[in-house]
Amino acid sequence: MRLRLLPAAVTVGLAAALLVGVPPAQARTLHVGPGRTLETPSAAAARTRDGDTVEIDAGTYTGDAATWTQDDLTLRGVGGMAHLQADGAHAQGKAIWVLAGDRIRVQNIEFSGAAVPDGNGAGIRAEGAGLTIVHCSFHDNENGILAGANPASDIEIRRSRFARNGAGDGQTHNLYIGAVRFLYVKGSLFAGANGGHEIKSRALKTTITANRILDLGSTASYSIDLPNGGDAKITGNVVEQGPSSPNRTLVSYGAEGLSNPTTRLWVVNNTFANQQDTGTVLALAAGTTGAHLRNNLLVGKGTWVAGASAERRANRRVSRGFRNPARHDYRLRRGSPAIDRGAFVPRAQRPRYEYRHPLRYVDRRVRGKADLGAFEYAG
């Protein structure tokens, strides 16, 4: 979700308060940490009002869980990451944090160890409308983030890490987003989902751009699963299927029925790597229309498309010309057969960014003809 800037004469703090409808005088900053009046995040959750900022000192908070019901909150770690280690604690039998308010921003927070009686626990359970995640870490939970259906909700995730989430049942995932209005994921790392998918989105619109998505040695299923179709754009990602994945499809579209009103998919300038003997880059549900694959690279064996037809241009299998594939670095080297081989892509569907490790994204700078894959050759 993008906000329109106010005139330069208006201060940043005032602009933020006016945009969310909270009078500046009412917005407060609460401080959390050992030795403070509020020693734990859950103590702050009981005291917070709409529009507040909660700053949590870096450190580990063990066995503390909270439900946040207020709107327009900023919840952030300061001085480093604030680590919420579940150690058996959970809010409402759902998650370490249940976010029931609208328009919440979470930054510099680490969530680990979420487990609940029904096996569907999450680092964050998102129940309100509007969530922004910036530079957070979710690992070793039953779900990293679990968001339910909310057609008024836009979810944005930037520069965050999801690793080893999943209960091993195939129903829990690194990231699981229900039927929200829009999911936007950028500059993030997804790795080693335990039995589930790296990213699963039922959103009406999904954009996944400039990320690194790796199975490593895990039993992760799909790298990207869009089970209900939708208006989707997958651009500028490195997607690497590991040798132990039981499902040899990297990207799945519409596997549970094309129930979203739009079936439009652009898969552009990604580098796909398959460490198995067979596989499929993109599986399309029967009846899918409007699927496009352009300027992608495939490293390893496999077919490009299965299940339905897609418009394809300038997709190429390449085995050389990368900086260090053993370390998941698929930036191009001089002489790569991917350089200057790109086909035309409409401006709205082109990748604007490239992933930079760790957890960054930079502008993708095209000089002349576009290169294939997730990176432009930089010289």
Instruction: Give 189-216 pLDDT, tens digit per residue.
Output: 999 999 999 999 999 999 999 999 999 9
Instruction: Give 41-100 pLDDT, tens digit per residue.
Output: 999 999 999 999 999 999 999 999 999 999 999 999 999 999 999 999 999 999 999 999
Instruction: Give 339-379 pLDDT, tens digit per residue.
Output: 999 999 999 999 999 999 999 999 999 999 999 999 999 98
Instruction: Give 98-108 pLDDT, tens digit per residue.
Output: 999 999 999 99
Burial level of 159, CB count in 10 A (0-12/13-18/19+)?
middle
pLDDT at 331: 98
In this structure, are strands 74-85 and 104-107 parallel, antiparallel, or unpaired?
parallel
3-class state of residue 377 by DSSP: coil
Predicted TM-score (pTM) of the model is 0.93
Spatial separation of the C-alpha atoms in residues 42 and 61, rounded to whole Å: 10
* Mean pLDDT, rounded, for 145-163: 98
Model confidence band, residue 24 (pLDDT cutoffs 50, 70, 90): low
pLDDT at 379: 86
Q: Is the pLDDT of residue 13 over 60?
A: no
pLDDT at 23: 60
pLDDT at 222: 98
Spatial separation of the C-alpha atoms in residues 332 and 289, rounded to whole Å: 32
Instruction: Give 112-134 pLDDT, tens digit per residue.
Output: 999 999 999 999 999 999 999 99
Give percent of the chain with pLDDT exceeding 90.
93
Picking from 191, 154, 145, the residue whose alpha carbon sits closest to that of residue 172 is 145
Picking from 70, 197, 204, 101, the residue whose alpha carbon sits closest to that of residue 143 is 197
